[in-house]
Each structure stands twice: as structure tokens, then as C-alpha cells.
Amino acid sequence: MTRWLRTLGAGFMARVGRLGRTGVFFGQTLLYCLTPPIKVERVLRQVWFIGWKSMLVIALTGTFTGMVLSLQGFPTLRRVGSEALLGPLVALALIRELGPVLTALMVTGRAGSSLAAELGMMRTNEQIDALELLGLNPLRYLVVPNLLAALLALPVLTVMFDVIGILGGYLVGVRLLGLNEGTYFGEMSNYVETKDVVGGIYKALSFGVLIMWVCCYKGYYSRSGAEGVSAATTQAVVTASVLILVWDYFVTSLVF
């Protein structure tokens, strides 16, 4: 009984310790984001890596999401005689919800996993220790540029996803299913408000912070060796993806 309690207590304390370390990691990273020096060159390099290199996958995902929204939405709306609302349906679904969430999930899969693995390898190969011994703060040098780059890249990628998705919806709704072009875009401008767009941007920003926090943390504290890096990468992607969906609910209830 005593041994069981001791094991339970040790497990609980280890979890509390890890939670505390996660919080300290996030707090320190935020503090370093707000205080100079900022490695601008590294930030730009990470914008290229997180943003520019994700564009193709975002364009493809956005196009087909918009297309399938139209394909599903048009017959449903026609059943109630409201096919004119296809444009607002596609636009609002993308701008308020699918754009930010799917962009964040794609960035997690493409860039977040890669960053977790890279940091994990740097931990395994003692490059993080080497940075520390050279007098450089590894968080400031390795993590802060990723967070700042994600804050710059995620909103742009999300807007791009929305625009391409709306065009994908146009291709199917107007060109394939025969809805009037003026109706598709005209109704959209009647229903989509500024707060929808701003809300989507807020979501994108918060997802950017979440992805980098989780993925960089998992990589930074990865166990040594191939198995450790592999586990850290998997945990990073799974945890970030789940948290994006959970956080999406809360941020939606707050913003909209």
C-alpha cells in the first residue's frame, strides 16, 4: 500500500514538475520575445521556413476545402431554396473556422514536426549545450525566432487559405454547378463582416503561439537518441493538433 502510494505520489509530482517546466519555458520565451536583442536574420529565415515553404500545401488544402464546401453546400441549400447563400456559407465557414484551424494543423504537420525534430537532434548532438557554453541563450537563439516567425506567417497563410478556398468554392459552385457569379460574390459581401475576418486573424495568431510553444518545448526537452527524438516529434504533432481544436472552441466562444 505504502509503495503504491509512493509510486502514485512520485508520478503526480513528476507531472506537476513537467507542467511547471512547460510554463517556465513559455514565460521565458515570451519575455525574450519582448526584450532585445532579437535575432532578426534568424526570424526572417524562419518566416521563410514556416511561411513560404508551407504555401503550396496551404494552397492545395485551401482549394479543395473550398471546393468540397461548395459541393456539399449547394445541394443542401437548394433543398431549402437558399442556394444564393452558397457564397456566404463558403466564406464564413472558411474565414471564421476552417481557414485558421486547417492552416494551423497543416503548419503543425509540416513545420512544427520538423522544428521539434530539429531541436531534438540538437539536444541529442549536444548543440544546445554548445550554444549555452558559448554564452548564447538557446531559448533566445532557437525558440524566439520560431515564435516570432509563426506570429508573422500564420495570419498571412490563413488569409491565403481563405482567399484560395473562396476561389475553390467559386470554381465548383459557379463554374461546375451553375450558380450565378454575381450572386456568389454579392451575397458574400452582404454577410461577411470585419469582425469575422479579425476573429480569424486572432485565431491564427493564437494558434501560431500554441504550435511553437508545444513543438519547440517537445523538441527542446527531447530525450536523447533516435527513439527520444521520434517520440518528441510524434508528441509535438499530436499534442499541438489536439490543443488547436480544444483552444479553437474557447477562442470561438470568446471572439465571436
Which residues of this chain interact with another protein, rule CB under 8 A? 125-127, 129-130, 132-136
C-alpha span between 58 and 170 (Å, rounded)? 18
> Can you tell me whether residue 156 is helix, strand or coil?
helix
Q: What is the DSSP letter of 52?
A: G
C-alpha span between 15 and 59 (Å, rounded)? 40
C-alpha cell at 34: 519582448
> What's the closest the beta carbon of residue 166 comes to another protein, in angstroms?
38
Q: Which is nearer to another protein, 8 or 60 (CB)?
A: 8
C-alpha cell at 163: 482567399
> What's the closest the beta carbon of residue 133 comes to another protein, in angstroms?
5
CB 166 within 8 A of CB 98: no
Q: Which is nearer to another protein, 15 or 175 (CB)?
A: 15
Q: What is the DSSP letter of 244?
A: H
Q: Which is nearer to another protein, 3 or 79 (CB)?
A: 3
Of 215, 214, 209, nearest to 153 (Cα)?
209
> What's the closest the beta carbon of residue 121 comes to another protein, in angstroms?
8
> What's the closest the beta carbon of residue 124 comes to another protein, in angstroms?
9
Of 219, 197, 175, nearest to 67 (Cα)?
175
> What's the closest the beta carbon of residue 48 comes to another protein, in angstroms?
13
Q: Which is nearer to another protein, 129 or 227 (CB)?
A: 129
Q: Which is nearer to another protein, 140 or 203 (CB)?
A: 140
